[in-house]
Structure 1
Amino acid sequence: MDTTVRIALQKKGRLLDDSLALLKESDIKFNIGNGRLVAQSTAFPIEALFLRDDDIPQTVHEGVADIGIVGENEYLEKGYDLDVVKRLGFSKCRLSLAIPKSDHYTGVGWFDGKKVATSYPEILKKFFAKEKINAEIHEIAGSVEIAPGIGLADAIFDIVSSGSTLVANSLKEVAVVMNSEAVLVANKNLDDEKREILDQMLFRFQAVQSSDSNKYILLNAPNDKVKDIVAILPGMKSPTVLPLAEAGWSSVHSVISEKKFWEVIDQLKANGAQGILIIPIEKMIL
């Protein structure tokens, strides 16, 4: 019987959209429709389960799913012993403490003796214990941001992305407890065949994400400037230099990090580079 890896994914929301986008770019596609909770990939030995995000850590821990993509916040809150295989770099947010906008914040000691509403009591307990804060934690399943306004709590501890929800409820963010992003987690008891499939998937993820953070660059340079320009473009190993039909000129090809894009472009122009072309990379195999 062929081995299939089962992956748990959030059944809706931004994390699902980001996860499916990465899988699709890695040529791992699912036939999804009509509220299906299970879907098989047509070109890769993997099956998807679509679950509530807070059910994913337990599902992977118990072996119902072999791996899962989940928010780091949910993984830490549930506390199951899983392998964090890869930080995925998307669906980023932060877990923060927020208080009414009209209150004067004096530091983390402000929370001593206060009641704080949250959907993440375990993470908050650890934070308060570390800071030696004695606060009452009130667990709420949803709509945490309304708790101060209806007199249920003095403050909240919740996910913050843009901060617009806080503003809409007359709250202000006063302390970031942790930053979170999507992580790929795995059951610690995967057999060798399933680990091999997981490794193949990770290889594809790496190729996609490396291409997202790098650009292919082509430029023309006078031969007496090639050495200086090559020093600016380290590339994956070293830039490729090819002679042009016009005497005294060469074409230089390389890969640059998107983070250093403008810095590198300015240096190239200052060293005589012309006809600079920047091309997206579809996949990048390191």
Structure 2
Amino acid sequence: MLRIAIQTKGRLHEETMSLLSESGIKLEQSKRLLLIPSRNFPIEVLFLRDDDIPQSVADGVADIGIVGENEYAEKKKDVKVVKRLGFSKCRLSLAIPKEIDYKSTAWLNGKVIATSYPEILNDFLKSKDVKADIHVITGSVEIAPGIGLADAIFDIVSSGSTLVTNHLKEVEVVMQSEAIMIANKNITDEKQAILNELLFRMEAVQIAEGKKYVLMNVPTENLDEIIEILPGMKSPTIMPLAKEGWSSLHVVIAEKLFWDIIGKLKALGAESILVMPIEKMIL
């Protein structure tokens, strides 16, 4: 049985649970249980605070964990990164009151900086040869300058709206973060085999994200021109139709590119264009 540690709540929790579900992992939903086994896969989910996950994986309490890269960098535990997951993206940034004229990190010398990530901040300040007073607080870091607790903050930024609300501006982006999967370095061969199957399933789900399966009827004489403008993953599938001079073309393309090329396809005679979602894709 493979044990995976997952954040108890929040956006990362929701996106992780969605990925597990789409990967065919069925779990009993319960707000009271901290450890839930899967009904159809040799895995059990342990729900923890996000900042406890790196330690739990390092100690072998959990075999693997899904956590924000920021927490992994902050805790500096002896675990290995198995996979970057591409969701729950954010950044760790320094922010100061918007009315201040900021020109470089030299401004931070002698200042008080409030943060929940002292290790990452300390490493950054050392790299810039800056000496500042790091004030460690948890929660509502962004209000620290407004109440006179700090001159600047170092915190997670997603949209930036919280900074605007608190009359702050972002002046230094220290690191980019996303959800990552970490694993205990001494995982057994049996558990590694389960992990490999889980990674295979997750990969199939993620490859399919943002992709559409497109079918269309096209004039055979225009096939070369149509193929030239299709940003497909590989060579499209082409089958002759009963109607002479026409072919059926099947291709997988990124959804965000579809509307950019639909006009060109129609201009080359494509018709009966059918766009379908893709749930899984095995390469």
TM-score category of the 2 structures, normalised to the smaller one = over 0.9
Secondary structure of the corresponding residue to residue 8 of structure 1: strand
Q: What is the rounded CA distance, in whole Å, between the counterparts of 2:39 and 2:142 in structure 1?
A: 42
Q: Quote the offset at 1:86 in angstroms.
A: 0.8
* 1:1-286 map, 5 Å: 4-233=1-230, 235-286=232-283
What are the superposed Cα offsets for residues 49-100 of structure 1, whole Å, 9 maximum, x if unpaired? Answer: 0000000000000000000000000000000121111111111111111111
Q: What is the rounded CA distance, in whole Å, between the counterparts of 1:183 and 1:57 in structure 2?
A: 11
Gaps of 5+ in 1: none
- Work out the number of aligned pairs and report it: 283
Q: Aligned AA for 1:208?
A: V
Q: Quote the offset at 1:259 in angstroms.
A: 4.5
Q: What is the rounded CA distance, in whole Å, between the counterparts of 1:253 and 1:196 in structure 2?
A: 35
Q: What is the rounded CA distance, in whole Å, between the counterparts of 2:114 and 2:263 in structure 1?
A: 50
Instruction: Provide the identity percentage.
Output: 63
Q: Quote the offset at 1:258 in angstroms.
A: 3.3
RMSD value over aligned CA atoms? Answer: 1.5
Q: Quote the offset at 1:191 in angstroms.
A: 1.0
Of the structure 1 ranges 273-282 and 234-243, higher mean CA displacement relative to structure 2 is found in 234-243
TM (normalized to structure 2)?
0.95
CA 1:234/1:91 → structure 2, altered by over 3 Å: closer, same or farther? closer
Of the structure 1 ranges 266-275 and 4-13, higher mean CA displacement relative to structure 2 is found in 266-275
Secondary structure of the corresponding residue to residue 268 of structure 1: helix
Gaps of 5+ in 2: none
Q: Quote the offset at 1:245 in angstroms.
A: 2.4
Q: What is the rounded CA distance, in whole Å, between the counterparts of 1:234 and 1:155 in structure 2?
A: 46
Secondary structure of the corresponding residue to residue 210 of structure 1: helix
Q: Is the 8 A contact 1:233 1:255 kept in 2?
A: no
Q: Is the 8 A contact 1:60 1:68 kept in 2?
A: yes
CA 1:97/1:40 → structure 2, altered by over 3 Å: closer, same or farther? same
Q: What is the rounded CA distance, in whole Å, between the counterparts of 2:84 and 2:256 in structure 1?
A: 19
TM (normalized to structure 1)?
0.94
What are the superposed Cα offsets for residues 137-162 of structure 1, whole Å, 9 maximum, x if unpaired? Answer: 11112221111112111000001112
Q: Quote the offset at 1:266 in angstroms.
A: 4.1
What are the superposed Cα offsets for residues 221-259 of structure 1, whole Å, 9 maximum, x if unpaired? Answer: 101011222333364442111122222111100111335
